[in-house]
Amino acid sequence: MTQTSDNVTWLTQEAYDKLKEELEYLSGPARTEIAAKIAAAREEGDLRENGGYHAAKEEQGKQELRVRQLTQLLEHARVGEAPADDGVVEPGMVVTIAFDGDEDDTLTFLLASREYASADIETYSPQSPLGTGVNGKRVGEDAQYELPNGKFASVKILAAKPYSG
């Protein structure tokens, strides 16, 4: 998974390969596809009122931004192993917490960078308030983190297992 410190992002080999594959697609076939969309839209005439052209140019801009993000991420990446299954919360772990010690009010999430965000599991960055609060804690320990309103919330770590998804 990932852990960012001093502009270094730690990735498992699997994560590195997945991101590299995305970069290769966006840098090659996806660029060709968007260029073809732009050319086809340009042939439709007046570019000032051509919605298809503007949409394709916007898509191209987003795609190029993602290429730059991935390039920078992979340039600074260090490939390592997934975290140990030792009950210590760290990036790459699926964490279950109970709010204010109430074991009926729980949240399970992946502690990782947004590169891992998926529909399967909610993802919190290690740099987020909650991520900062729980990072380094052990199962059974309490953690505190600051809410946007300046108050503090307390959670109990119920589980921490390496992400395998």
- Maximum separation of any 2 CA atoms in the chain, in Å: 65
C-alpha distances in angstroms, 106 versus 21, 117, 150, 162? 35, 19, 22, 18
For residue 39, count other CB atoms closer than 10 A to its CB.
11
Contact call for residues 158 and 106 (beta carbons, < 8 A):
yes
pLDDT one-digit tens code per residue, 52-91: 888 999 999 999 999 998 898 888 777 766 677 888 998 8
Give pLDDT, residue 45: 78
Is 93-162 a CATH 3.10.50.30 domain? yes
Least confident of 38-42, 82-86, 132-136, 137-141: 82-86
Q: Is this structure's pTM higher than 0.75? A: no
Domain locations along the chain: 4-80, 93-162
Give pLDDT, residue 156: 94
CATH for 4-80, options being 3.30.1380.10, 1.10.287.180, 3.40.50.2300, 3.20.20.70? 1.10.287.180
For residue 42, count other CB atoms closer than 10 A to its CB.
14
Give pLDDT, residue 139: 95
